[in-house]
Chains A and B, each alone.
Chain A
Amino acid sequence: MFGRLVKFAWRSTWRNGRRTVITGLAVGLGLGSMIFYEALMQGMGAYMIQTTTNPWMGDAQIHRNGFMDTRRIDLTVERPDSVLFMLRQDSTVSACTPRILSPASATSTTEMKPVTLIGVDSETDPALTMLEAAIDTGSYLSGDSTELIIGYKLADDLNAVPGDVIVITVARADSGLSSSMFFVSGICRFGSDDLDRYSAFVNLNTAGGMLGIPGDVHEIAVRFPESKTGADTTIAFWSEFSIFGNSALGWPELAPQVSAMLNMVDLGMAVTAIILFALVVFGIVNSLFMSVYERMYEFGVMKALGTRPGTIGTMVVLEAFWIAVISTVIGSAIGLLTVWITSKTGINFGEFDVSGVVFDKPLYPILKLSRVWIYPLFTLILTTAAGIYPGIHAGRLNPAEAMRKSL
Chain B
Amino acid sequence: MEMNMVDNDVIVAEGIVKTYDDSGVPVHAVRGVDYTLEKGEFTAITGPSGSGKTTFLNVLAGLDTPTEGKVWLSGKLISEMSGKELSNFRRDHIGFVFQAYNLFPVLTVEENVEYVMLLQGIPPAERHDRVMDILEKVGIAEYVGRLPRKLSGGQQQRVAVARAVVSHPSLVIADEPTANLDSKTSGALLDMMRKLNEETGMTFLFSTHDEIVMQRAKKIVVLRDGKIDENASPKE
Contact = CB atoms under 8 A, between A and B. Distances in A.
Interface stretch (A25-33, A171-179, A396-404): A396-404
B209 interface: no
Interface string A308-327: 11010000000000000000
Given A400-B64, A401-B64, A305 B106 contact: no
A306 B102 contact: no
Main secondary structure of the interface of A (DSSP, over half): helix
B105 interface: yes
B85 to A, nearest CB: 11
B53 to A, nearest CB: 13
Interface string B97-114: 010101011110001000
B115 A305 contact: yes
A307 B64 contact: no
9 contacts: A4-B118, A298-B105, A301-B102, A303-B63, A304-B61, A304-B63, A305-B96, A307-B87, A311-B119
A298 B87 contact: no
Contacts of A398: 63-64
B90 interface: yes
B91 A305 contact: yes
Interface in B124-174: 163
The CB with the most chain B CB atoms within 10 A, among A8, A15, A311, is that of A8
A311 to B, nearest CB: 8
Contacts of A297: 100, 102
A304 B87 CA distance: 7
B9 interface: no
B106 A15 contact: yes
Given A1-B118, A4-B118, A401-B64, A304 B107 contact: no
Nearest to B102: A301
Given A15-B106, A308-B87, A400 B58 contact: yes
A306 B64 contact: no
Classify chain A's interface size. Answer: 20 to 34
B38 interface: no
Nearest to B147: A11
A307 B105 contact: no
A12 B106 contact: yes
Contacts of A301: 96, 98, 102, 104
Contacts of A306: 87-92, 116, 119
Nearest to A9: B106
Contacts of A302: 104
B102 A11 contact: no
B64 A305 contact: no
A298 B104 contact: yes
B84 interface: yes
A350 B91 CA distance: 69
